[in-house]
Amino acid sequence: MTEKEKMLAGLPYSAVDAQLLKELNECKDIIFRYNQLLPSMRAERTAMLKELLGHVGDDNILINQPFYCDYGKHISVGKRFFANFNFTVLDEALVTIGDDCFVGPNVGVYTACHSTDPVERNTRREWALPVTIGDNVWIGGSVTILAGVNIGDNVTIGAGSVVTRDIPSNSIAVGNPCRVIKKL
């Protein structure tokens, strides 16, 4: 298996693999250009997001600048997707976001995982786990969503939450760690 295949399969891989570094830098170049576009250049922004992301549900997508991601192609967003300023996605694994999702400012989705053992961590071996976010989800500002998390449909995640485990559909969840406080 290539290091990229290992990465996408959730297996340990070398984060300093030449092909992965090349793809990271290509994505960074696109992201740099995206973040330099004038906010009024809506059609150009949409076109660039369609080039960058793995799937875009429709033309009604808006990600306010700045936006950051590692690969882009591992991100899928549904119809009528909106993300506010400073949306950051470390998409070493697949990140799938459903229809009618709204993301507040300063939200991070992190699929990459690193060893807690400093010797192992310093080898630059890591692994990644996918994140899935259902339809009709509102993610409040400054939320962190960690690797391997699944968020169901019709969920609200309160501002400042750290989502470390799955959140079931039809829930309101808040806190660090994020927990369900109300079922809808």
User: Would you please indicate which residues are annotated as catalytic (active-site) residues?
Assistant: 114
Asked if the bond preceding 39 is cis, omega within 30° of 0, the reply is: no
| Percent of the chain that is helix, strand, coil (3-state, to 5) | 20, 30, 45
Query: Which string of DSSP letters, residue by residue, matches 30-42?
Result: HHHHHHHS-TT-H
Amino acid identity for residue 150 in this structure: N
What are the tokens at 6? 């290992």
